Each structure stands twice: as C-alpha cells, then as structure tokens.
Amino acid sequence: MKMGKLEVKSVSDGLFRLDGGAMFGIVPQTLWKKAIPPDGQNRILLGLNLLVIDSGDDLIVVDTGIGTKTGEGFNDRFGVQRDGDALDSLRSEGYAPEDVSQVILTHLHFDHSGGATRIDDRGALVPAYPSAKYFVQRAEWEDARNPNEITRGSYLEENFKPLFEAGQLEILDGDVRLTGEVSVELTGGHTRGHQIVRVESGGETMLHMGDLVPTSHHLPLPYIMGYDTFPLETLQLRRRIYRDAVDRTWMLFFEHDIHSKVSTLAEEEGKFVIDETKVHRFKKGE
C-alpha cells in the first residue's frame, strides 16, 4: 500500500500457536474463543507479520518473526507452520536481505527477534540482515540479557547476542526519530522496554503496535495478555492511543493477526472497534 512517498508492505514468517488463556489474560475462554477458536491443546493460531517500509532511500523491517533456528521440539510445542520464512517472503516482494538498512525490534521475545539472526553455511550465528542496523530500547536489552524466572523462556540470546557481537545493534533511550517518516516510541506495558513504531507520510499515520495489541481481536481494553509484565501500563496506553487513533484517523498494524491487516478504528457505543470499511489486507506484490 502507498503512504505518501512510502511503499508499505507486510511479509510473513508463517504462523504459530500460543496458549489462548495466556493470550487473553483475565478474559474468560467463553468470550475469546468466539473470535479465535483454540485447538485441542488450548492454543490459538497467530500470525508472524513483518512490516516492511520502503522510502527509496531506506528499507526498514519491523520485527523478524521466529526465524529458522528452532528445532523440531520447539516447532511442535508452538505449532509453527510455514512454507518459507520471512526472508523468502521478502525476496518474493523483490527485496534481498542485503537491501534492508534498518531493523526495528519492538522487543526481544523469540517471536519478534528470532528471525534477526540465522545460522550460516559454517554453522555460525550471524545477523540475518547483514547491512542493517538493528534498533532496540536499552531497558529491553538489559532485561533480555538478565531474564528472571518469568521471562527466561521468552528471551533466547541466540536471537540478539550475535547482533551485538557483529556491531550491528544500536541501543536507544526513549523516543527517537530514525528517518524523516519513521520514529519509535518507548511504551513499556508488554515489557519494560517495549516500543512501537510510528510511520508518517503523505498526511497519513500508521502505528505498528507490537504486542500492545497483538491482533485485531485484542482491541477491547480488558483483552490484555497474561504475558504483559506491566498490564496496567498497557491499559493506559491503549486508552490514549485508541482515542487519538479515532480522532486523527490513524491506522494500526496488527503483528499477530492471522490475516495480515491494518485498519483505522471507530467508536461504537463507547467501545473501540475495527472500522470495517477501512480494513486493508496486504496482498503479495501490492
């Protein structure tokens, strides 16, 4: 889709599954299963959607999916499904990994940073995007390097340590404008160092919400993941962002929706919902 001078696309790293109860937190299953039915292990199907922003001068990728380093046991546990990985999907859109100049990581959980690195022909762990600078918030970097009993399963150092060792990791402190059209905003909420991405061009604004709103089915304010380390922060952020999104006609990008989609919001009877007349579903080649 076109946004002013930008070409904005979504590429896929496939699908995976997480526990539905964990994904919807305090919300009873009788409510959330109407939107996303669970499988026999109570897991729901989720997308791994990467946002690609092409300005002509910069090619930016936001988050990297799970990647291809995981083994059979991991893939079975998380129900990973793919015909090809994100790099294959990127190539199908006419881009090579070497073309990417910036990779923004909303946070360092394995389903967002796993594709940041790969195993090369020598069996070494290397950055998957060899020419790119990778951007992450300092608080996220610190927490990923020093995980606790709750977060240890989400932070896998093979996904981010090689970026630092290669000199390609750039640590950010708070809100930063990376290009004329793209900036990041430190939000907290899901993790202490979680950031979202703001894309602005041609009078339009899109927010990549990371895990603040992982799917369009998580729009209701109480539908906050059990994985969020600071859920009340998430709640406050959603209230503010939703209000601005309606008033200013911002688009929101949903990273884990199984149908890669972006949409503006509407307010109906005091609730924020997808504006069904403004949903954009990315299709290959557009």
- The CA-CA-CA angle for residues 254, 203, 282, to 5°, reads 35
Provide Rg for the chain, Cα atoms: 18
Enumerate the domain spans of the chain.
Answer: 2-281
Q: What is the pLDDT of residues 24-40, one digit of tens each?
A: 999 999 999 998 999 99
What pLDDT score does 260 carry? 65
What pLDDT score does 285 carry? 53
Q: What residue has token string 């503010």?
A: 240
What pLDDT score does 48 carry? 97
Rounded to an integer, what distance in angstroms lies between the CA atom of residue 9 and that of residue 37?
28
- The answer to pTM > 0.85 is yes
Average pLDDT, the chain: 95
pLDDT tier, 83 (very low <50, low <70, confident <90, very high otherwise): confident
Cα–Cα nearest to 46, from 194, 225, 198, 265: 225
> Is residue 44 within 8 Å of 15, Cβ to Cβ?
no
Q: Is the pLDDT at 55 greater than 70, yes or no?
A: yes
| Burial of residue 203 (number of CB atoms within 10 Å: 0-12, 13-18, 19+) | exposed
> Is residue 155 within 8 Å of 94, Cβ to Cβ?
no
Q: Which CATH code is given to the segment(s) 2-281?
A: 3.60.15.10
- The CA-CA-CA angle for residues 149, 70, 196, to 5°, reads 65
Q: What is the pLDDT of residues 244-270, one digit of tens each?
A: 999 999 999 999 999 868 999 999 988
What pLDDT score does 284 carry? 64
What single-letter amino acid sits at 37?
A: P
**SS in 3 state form for the chain?**
CEECCEEEEEEEEEEEEEEHHHHHCCCCHHHHCCCCCCCCCCEEEEEEEEEEEECCCCEEEECCCCCCCCCHHHHHHCCCECCCCHHHHHHHCCCCHHHCCEEECCCCCHHHHHHHEEECCCCCEEECCCCCEEEEEHHHHHHHHCCCCCCCCCCCHHHCHHHHHCCCEEEECCCEECCCCEEEEECCCCCCCCEEEEEEECCEEEEECCCCCCCHHHCCCCCCCCCCCCHHHHHHHHHHHHHHHHHHCCEEEECCCCCCEEECEEEECCEEEECCCCCEECCCCC
> Is residue 279 within 8 Å of 269, Cβ to Cβ?
no
What single-letter amino acid sits at 77?
A: R
Percent above pLDDT 90 for the chain: 92
> Is residue 192 within 8 Å of 140, Cβ to Cβ?
yes
pLDDT tier, 203 (very low <50, low <70, confident <90, very high otherwise): very high
The two three-digit tokens of residue 22, written as one number: 């964990």
Q: What is the pLDDT of residues 151-191, one digit of tens each?
A: 999 999 999 999 999 999 999 999 999 999 999 999 999 99
Rounded to an integer, what distance in angstroms lies between the CA atom of residue 81 and that of residue 83?
7
Q: Is the pLDDT at 49 greater than 80, yes or no?
A: yes
Torsion of CA 222, 224, 228, 234, to 10 degrees: -60
